[in-house]
Structure 1
Amino acid sequence: MTYFEVDITNCEQEPIHILGHIQSHGYLCAIHPDTYTIVHASANLADLVGQPIADVLGQSLAEVLNKTDLPAATLIELLNVGKRNDSWDTLNPYRLQLDGRFWNLVVHAFKGLLLLEWEPTDEQPKVAMNQRLIADALTEVQSSRQLADLLQNTAQRVKSIIGFDRVMVYRFSADWHGQVIAEAREPELEPFLGLHYPASDIPRQARELYKINLVRLIADAGSVPSPILSQPGWPNDAPLDLTHSTLRAVSPVHIEYLNNMGVQASMSISLLYQGELWGLISCHHHAPRFVDYAARQAAKFVSQLLSAALEFRKGEEDQSLLLHSLENGQRLHEQLLADEDVVRALTRRSVTALDLVAASGAVLLFNNQQHRLGTTPDEAAVRDLAEWLKTTLSDTFLETSHLPALYPPAGIFRHQGAGILAVVLSRELNEYLIWFKPERIQEVTWAGNPQKAVTVSDDGQHRIGPRKSFEAWTEMVHNTSEPWGQAEVAAAIKLREDILQIVTRQANEIRQLNQRLQAAYEELDAFSYTVSHDLRTPLSSIRCYSEILLEEYGDDFNPDARALFQKVIDSTDRMRALIHHILFYSRMGRTEVNTQLVDMNHLLTSMRDEILLTEKDRSLAIDIADTPAINADPTMLSQLFMNLLTNAAKYTRSTPAGHIQVSGKQTDEDVIYSITDNGIGFDMKEADKMFELFKRLENARSFKGTGVGLAIVKRIITRHHGKIWYQSEPNRGATFFVSFPLIAVD
């Protein structure tokens, strides 16, 4: 296998997980998990086992090891134990001796094969030193108050563990450019602290691998990698995947990059925040240097401690911002209820829309007028911006910290609004609430010109090569504002719901146009009801006849035929469920809302018992706190909460211990319930269409569903003149809020 050829068109697609080589300081073989037959091996494995590599491929591991001084029987039993436990973490590394040298054996399973990797280690493991450094790091994380101090001390501690010349903490920005924010180095080296590196230095596929392999060592950038050979007959299109390998070879482009920097050994340790790559601890050494498994694990543990500290500190910061937004959002809601005048409530009271988020200006476009707060673009610029917002995809909001890149005319008013957060009140009437953040001009010092050099070979081929110079190179960054936080986006969405609730109560002449739209909507509603109702009869016939055929003639069918009939029956069940949801959704357009005071404790308790019975084969807890009564239609209310609770139960199935919290509270105007889960969550920026029929978010597509449940919830809320909003982050659970007015409105 040869290296992937990287040129100007494909450097982002370089398959660095299947380069076909390993680093030369270790050995590798891949075996079949049932027979232990060797199907792949590094060419240098011949040095370890003392046999030609051609004789090794296709042979059983036991036969090969029996001809060496390696403890064959012990290694085979080790593999058997790992297979029985379906885990290798407790076995790695296995320490052994051969020809007077000591080796660590590391094993992992991936894509139907077991990968065995041998790498050298010291005769006497430095356990005590590593334990002391880990203990010191734990104390540091617990006691450090400033994140900058913690990062700097972590860099110094990692340097002590691995002995490299330079250790940097490197943080990624939203566009994947990075900056060195902490550094420990030898005194004679020039400082890199504060320098920026372009996203192209660490391409996308490398960043994905950093999320899987938290520690990556390149022991000798100048060594010749050992090719991986396969047993005869192995398909050429099935190379060995080295995603989880500790010995995976290095991309030629990255080797060239290290050579240009004068670096012969490097090590990278991933720093994660909420499962995503936050940054790296990047280590450089100007001579080859091997770091053994134990020291790498110690460094990995230190990085995990730092990742946990990042989670904690970022969580504190986010909670503070969220509390501020919630307090001002509640004041704005109270003002809207008191005034029933959107403009006065948002722009002329003690708390204004500008206080909701960290913006320098805000504009409310309402009833063909603009109402300004703070520093904003002029009236004509805002009018043109609103026309452009009509063309955006989102039906709810838009947030960006680099507006001129999306809307070039914004470059004229970048000093007032290089970033915007806009919520849609009425696209048809051109009504929006827009917050502005000014341009934040940055002087960015790069480690060399961030543009990769393009070279032309003798045959005329263009090739992108890594940068050759790393001398400080400064540029000014324009047209970008401070980014918008999750708490700011959530607060804006909540305020939008509050405004729309007030707007729907106002019977002004402009909104009488909705009557014609409502008439058309009801006709479409009746049509969907009729079609769905008429579908049930032939669907029942399909199911009935299929069951008769399966019962009467099933013994004569082959297994494939029986399976196909069962699929027909299962498909009719799913379609019946979908029709049921559509009928319920359509029926709500004609059904009268029969409001009465509903005992929520009884309702929620019975739902909890039903859901826990359905989910009895998994760990799930549903806690019910305060349950104030609600004035609502009992049937519709049951459907609403059952949809929200079953959704919460469904999207926590991938969580080891699912947990759902239901809580209600009564205010002077309404009753608010929250349903919180610890499931997969979702990105607030992608959730604007979740209440539309048959719309499902990308991360929910692996879970069964019809895409109708939340549309039903939204329609029930609308029929009761209530509100629904949400707060979530990917892999951090979700909270849905629903509110019902204290006095039922017909």
Structure 2
Amino acid sequence: MTDFNVDLINCEQEPIHILGNIQSHGYLLALLPDTYTVVHASSNLPDLIGQPVADILGNSLETLLEKTDLPASTLVELLNVGRRNESWENINPQQIRLNERTWNLIIHEHDGLLLLEWEPASTLSQAPLNQRLIAEALTEVQASRQLVDLLQNTARRVKTIIGFDRVMVYRFADDWHGQVIAEEKEDHLEPFLGLHYPASDIPKQARELYKTNLVRLIADAAAPTAAILSQPDGPANRPVDLTYSTLRAVSPVHIEYLKNMGVEASMSISLIYRGELWGLMSCHHYSPRFVDFSSRQAAKFVSQLLSAALEFRKDEEDQTLLRVSLENGKRLHEQLLADENVVRALTRHATTALALTKATGAVLLFNNQQYHIGQTPGETAVQKLTDWLRQSDTDTFLETSRLASLYPDAEAFREIGSGILAIVLSKELNEYLIWFKPEQIQQVTWAGNPDKPVTVTNDGQVRISPRKSFAAWTELVHNTSEPWTEAEVSAVIKLREDILQVVNRQANEIRLLNQRLQDAYEELDAFSYTVSHDLRTPLSSIRCYAEILLEEYGNELNPDARLLFQKIVDSTDRMRALIRHILYYSRMGRTEITTLPIDMNHLLDEIREEVMINEKDRAITVQIEDIPPLSADPIMIRQLFTNLISNAAKYTRLAPEAHVRVTGQQTEQDVIYTVSDNGIGFDMKDAGKLFDLFKRLENARSFKGSGVGLAIVKRVVNRHGGKIWYHSEPNRGATFHVSFPLAQPTEK
């Protein structure tokens, strides 16, 4: 018996964007952008232009159109306009009469090619009906009705626009399986409302395409496809990338899936939330059906209104939760300052740590004791859990709604702790604060058994096939809690900073850290001496010799050699800057603080001018609002804000219009400054080592940097007895908050 290693990766390896075929209801042509030379064409193109594909490959547009009634100059001018504007959205579609028939011509440029696609244009105008339905959808979004009604009515309007038998709103879960949460269908069809579909039904590469192409039509799943033919000796002799194509053919696996469902035409419309795929409007028709471009665009617009409503409602909900969490967090902070006793402040007041989240229980492990609030596992179970946390990579916090999948022993207390949110106070001392959420048993009804059947092809390859039966298949899902919200995670990270500040003020950091700090300072002193004497001198010599060679022998060197010498000079400059940052970081730990009044508006204006000079070749706005003054060390504070604002400017370089904003406010206890941007952001789960020396997050590695700047920021904050906390999401910008007490601590 042969043993096969089978997993769902088989389904995720199909190159669905380069299948080499298009759907046969349209025609495709690929041109070189500069010369408009034909390099690819669909095999059915002769039906449109009246001449063989072989006669036009490698030739010009004039050759392509010579047997048609469309002048080549008309098409050339259209292409010229689109390329000058660097946008095709305002051009698509172009209705063109070709051989006594009207076609929708859709153009886009991708992967070094211009792709032209012809689709039949409808002879009956749907514009009045579509406009009315769009207006109704807009009115409903503005009226802010219940979400379930909004989803159902959107499905109804899309069904009216495209005329399909069934339109479903399909929402993705965290693990990418989906559930039908709204449905509009013909009366004779069985309902799919409430059914779940496994993540493998829509594999990863398909989900990525849904984010790029918001509308996808399969007009006739059973129709033969048209192959894309290529110029044999052309420069683009590779598969055509159809990522943005409207005619892209269908994966054989998906064709089989539709066939098993009895679906002959399908259409998908993406629902996007914060730049990510929230769900789909999945449309089925049980006979072939073509939907013209204008109707598809109308359906797309209705779905975009729904996406906007989803974002508005979710943001509003998040702000409400965040406001409640911040209010409770403020009370906990006041209790910490008043008590200066972590246990009493968090567990023995009317507002406890439990109030910070929607958890039903919390445990504080501090000074070798456990303090339980609400419903929690027993002491032995909690001790084993923290032992596991101590061995994990968790340095700042851990959140999961499926603890048993990470820590199997958690199944023993799943009724009260299927999900945890834990913050690390001290790994060395085994000190944590852990919140618990109970199990939410879910009865999930799948559209057929979610485990795809395995088949073996004639050549012995393992293949996971689409399900053939879609009869309801029910299972109970255990070991899962309600997910943790962004507001809950942000609130507990802020609380961690508050706790650690109190712990530091009480000199608890001396425990187990005195010897480590002494060793670290001795190593840092030795390192500083080595950097300042043993590294800088030879580095200066390398730079000097390279410059002499360039100056004395530059004319005799070939361009490649001159470039290499210049790279040596540039590299030494970067190395000198890194050494300078390291020296500043090491000296800062021992330099005495000189506390003086600082005009923060003036200081930040100067920093803004320096940043704008460095970023002069791009569109960036650095907005500094009226900022309260500060009494602190001017040199250290300048370095702190120079790093924060420079980082914000650097990580917005991919944004079309970069924005950096600096605000400030003074409370009764401290002064708080905030630096926010609309840059690449980062995943909060990966931010545990944000302030570590030489540590950079994965998505920031393509940007130049030393990995020292935020370590300097953290050290300046600590030297002033302040706090720093942050919030960010990938591609949604980052916000850093820095607070300084009004009464500066005495120098230690």
Give the TM bin, normalised by the shorter chain: over 0.9
SS in 2 for 1:10: helix
Judge which range, 298-307 or 6-15, deviates more: 6-15
Q: Taking structure 1 as reference, are residues 174 and 165 closer, same or farther at Cα in structure 2, changes over 3 Å only?
A: same
Identity, % of aligned pairs? 70
Quick one: which amino acid aligns to residue 19 of structure 2?
L
Matched with 2:359 is 359
Q: Taking structure 1 as reference, are residues 610 and 189 closer, same or farther at Cα in structure 2, changes over 3 Å only?
A: same
Report deviation, 1:179: 0.6
| Cα distance in 1 between the residues matched to 2:475 and 2:348 | 42
Judge which range, 101-110 or 555-564, deviates more: 555-564
Quick one: which amino acid aligns to residue 253 of structure 1?
V
Q: CA deviation digits over 1:478-522, x for unaligned, max 9?
A: 0000001111111111101110111112135x8443111110110
Indicate whether 1:335 and 2:335 are aligned.
Answer: yes
Matched with 2:395 is 395
Matched with 1:214 is 214
Judge which range, 573-582 or 17-26, deviates more: 573-582
Correspondence list, 1:274-673, <5 A: 274-457=274-457, 460-507=460-507, 511-534=510-533, 535-673=535-673
| Cα distance in 2 between the residues matched to 1:224 and 1:91 | 30
Judge which range, 696-705 or 581-590, deviates more: 696-705
Quick one: which amino acid aligns to residue 413 of structure 2?
F
Correspondence list, 1:252-263, <5 A: 252-263=252-263
SS in 2 for 1:659: strand
| Cα distance in 2 between the residues matched to 1:585 and 1:638 | 14
SS in 2 for 1:674: strand
| Cα distance in 2 between the residues matched to 1:666 and 1:82 | 53
Matched with 2:742 is 742
Correspondence list, 1:47-126, <5 A: 47-126=47-126
Matched with 1:187 is 187
Report deviation, 1:724: 0.6
8 Å CA contact 1:332–1:351 kept in 2: the answer is yes
Q: CA deviation digits over 1:238-296, x for unaligned, max 9?
A: 21111111000000110010011110000000000110000000000000000111111
Q: Which runs of 5+ in 1 are unaligned?
A: 1-5
Q: Taking structure 1 as reference, are residues 28 and 495 closer, same or farther at Cα in structure 2, changes over 3 Å only?
A: same
| Cα distance in 1 between the residues matched to 2:616 and 2:517 | 44
Judge which range, 267-276 or 526-535, deviates more: 526-535
SS in 2 for 1:300: helix
| Cα distance in 2 between the residues matched to 1:432 and 1:695 | 24
| Cα distance in 2 between the residues matched to 1:80 and 1:673 | 50
| Cα distance in 1 between the residues matched to 2:607 and 2:459 | 72
Report deviation, 1:184: 0.7
8 Å CA contact 2:10–2:464 kept in 1: the answer is no
Report deviation, 1:688: 1.1
Q: CA deviation digits over 1:64-100, x for unaligned, max 9?
A: 2122223322011111222222221121111112333
| Cα distance in 1 between the residues matched to 2:547 and 2:125 | 68
Matched with 1:34 is 34
Quick one: which amino acid aligns to residue 90 of structure 1?
N
| Cα distance in 1 between the residues matched to 2:659 and 2:146 | 33
Structural RMSD (CA): 1.7
| Cα distance in 2 between the residues matched to 1:528 and 1:189 | 75
Correspondence list, 1:196-207, <5 A: 196-207=196-207
| Cα distance in 2 between the residues matched to 1:71 and 1:285 | 38
| Cα distance in 2 between the residues matched to 1:682 and 1:221 | 41
8 Å CA contact 2:38–2:59 kept in 1: the answer is yes
SS in 1 for 2:391: coil
| Cα distance in 2 between the residues matched to 1:310 and 1:524 | 54
Q: Taking structure 1 as reference, are residues 458 and 241 closer, same or farther at Cα in structure 2, changes over 3 Å only?
A: closer
Report deviation, 1:552: 2.7
| Cα distance in 2 between the residues matched to 1:458 and 1:30 | 36
| Cα distance in 2 between the residues matched to 1:46 and 1:307 | 41
SS in 1 for 2:281: strand
Quick one: which amino acid aligns to residue 524 of structure 1?
E
Quick one: which amino acid aligns to residue 253 of structure 2?
V
Indicate whether 1:270 and 2:261 are aligned.
Answer: no
Quick one: which amino acid aligns to residue 51 of structure 2?
Q
Indicate whether 1:694 and 2:694 are aligned.
Answer: yes
Report deviation, 1:555: 2.3
Q: Taking structure 1 as reference, are residues 563 and 457 closer, same or farther at Cα in structure 2, changes over 3 Å only?
A: closer
Matched with 2:3 is none
8 Å CA contact 1:7–1:463 kept in 2: the answer is no
Judge which range, 545-554 or 632-641, deviates more: 545-554
Judge which range, 59-68 or 220-229, deviates more: 59-68
| Cα distance in 1 between the residues matched to 2:164 and 2:410 | 47
Indicate whether 1:676 and 2:665 are aligned.
Answer: no
| Cα distance in 2 between the residues matched to 1:47 and 1:623 | 59
SS in 1 for 2:607: helix
| Cα distance in 2 between the residues matched to 1:197 and 1:512 | 53
TM-score when normalising by structure 2: 0.96
| Cα distance in 2 between the residues matched to 1:216 and 1:507 | 62
8 Å CA contact 1:101–1:123 kept in 2: the answer is no
Q: Which runs of 5+ in 2 are unaligned?
A: 1-5
Report deviation, 1:567: 1.6
Quick one: which amino acid aligns to residue 521 of structure 1?
A
8 Å CA contact 1:525–1:589 kept in 2: the answer is no
| Cα distance in 2 between the residues matched to 1:256 and 1:195 | 20
Q: CA deviation digits over 1:303-344, x for unaligned, max 9?
A: 111111111111100101111111111110110000000000
SS in 1 for 2:30: strand
Quick one: which amino acid aligns to residue 309 of structure 1?
A
| Cα distance in 2 between the residues matched to 1:532 and 1:248 | 59
Q: CA deviation digits over 1:531-561, x for unaligned, max 9?
A: 2213222222222222222223222222222
| Cα distance in 2 between the residues matched to 1:561 and 1:614 | 29
8 Å CA contact 1:8–1:454 kept in 2: the answer is no
Matched with 1:3 is none
Q: CA deviation digits over 1:437-478, x for unaligned, max 9?
A: 000000011111111111234555432110111111111000
| Cα distance in 2 between the residues matched to 1:201 and 1:90 | 34
Q: Taking structure 1 as reference, are residues 362 and 9 closer, same or farther at Cα in structure 2, changes over 3 Å only?
A: closer
SS in 2 for 1:64: helix
Judge which range, 563-572 or 274-283, deviates more: 563-572
8 Å CA contact 2:420–2:436 kept in 1: the answer is yes
8 Å CA contact 1:664–1:674 kept in 2: the answer is yes
8 Å CA contact 2:723–2:739 kept in 1: the answer is yes
Report deviation, 1:616: 3.1
Judge which range, 146-155 or 55-64, deviates more: 55-64
8 Å CA contact 2:439–2:480 kept in 1: the answer is yes
Matched with 2:720 is 720
**Number of residue pairs matched by the alignment:** 740
Q: CA deviation digits over 1:606-625, x for unaligned, max 9?
A: 22232233333333333333
Q: Taking structure 1 as reference, are residues 244 and 690 closer, same or farther at Cα in structure 2, changes over 3 Å only?
A: same
| Cα distance in 2 between the residues matched to 1:666 and 1:102 | 67
8 Å CA contact 2:39–2:236 kept in 1: the answer is no
Report deviation, 1:126: 2.8
Report deviation, 1:125: 3.7
Q: Taking structure 1 as reference, are residues 18 and 355 closer, same or farther at Cα in structure 2, changes over 3 Å only?
A: same
TM-score when normalising by structure 1: 0.97
Q: Taking structure 1 as reference, are residues 541 and 460 closer, same or farther at Cα in structure 2, changes over 3 Å only?
A: closer
SS in 2 for 1:513: coil
